[in-house]
Amino acid sequence: MANRAAGKGYENEDNYSNIKFQFIGIENIHVMRNSLQKMLEEKACSNPRISAVSEEGASVLVHCSDGWDRTAQVCSVASLLLDPYYRTVKGFMVSLVTTFPKEAEP
């Protein structure tokens, strides 16, 4: 409730039909960096959520409850994993510009 009172939080389910919220408890950027390194070392990309998006074309809404860096982290990593374009120099630059606009907070 405190996050919602501050203009943060998550979307109201009543405003959307046919959705399912999944809160996955994403840790801070330092923990996420270590997790990404481990995932890359183990090539552990067989997650069922990733498969649903890449193979079934499932749509995903990513929203961080406090409005900071986690949303951008998830979206940028997902782009890199799911679309080879974003693994090119040009694609990576596009990802940086669209995911981390210069107006974003440091």
For residue 64, indicate whether it is catalytic: yes
CA–CA gap between residue 6 and residue 68 (Å, rounded)? 13
Q: Is 83 annotated as a binding residue?
A: no
């840790």: which residue's tokens? 27
Q: Which of 39, 64, 77, 94 is catalytic?
A: 64
Answer yes or no: is 15 a known binding residue.
no
> How far is Cα 30 from Cα 21, in angstroms, rounded to an integer?
25
Q: How far is CA 87 from CA 28, 37, 68, in A?
A: 24, 16, 24
The verdict on whether residue 45 carries a ligand-binding annotation is: no
Instruction: Tell me if 70 is assigned to a ligand binding site.
Output: yes
The response to whether 26 counts as a known ligand-binding position is: no
Judge whether 35 is annotated as a binding position. no
First to last CA, the chain: 26
Give the residue ranges of the annotated binding site for substrate: 28-29, 64-70
What residues form the annotated binding site?
28-29, 64-70
Active site residues: 64
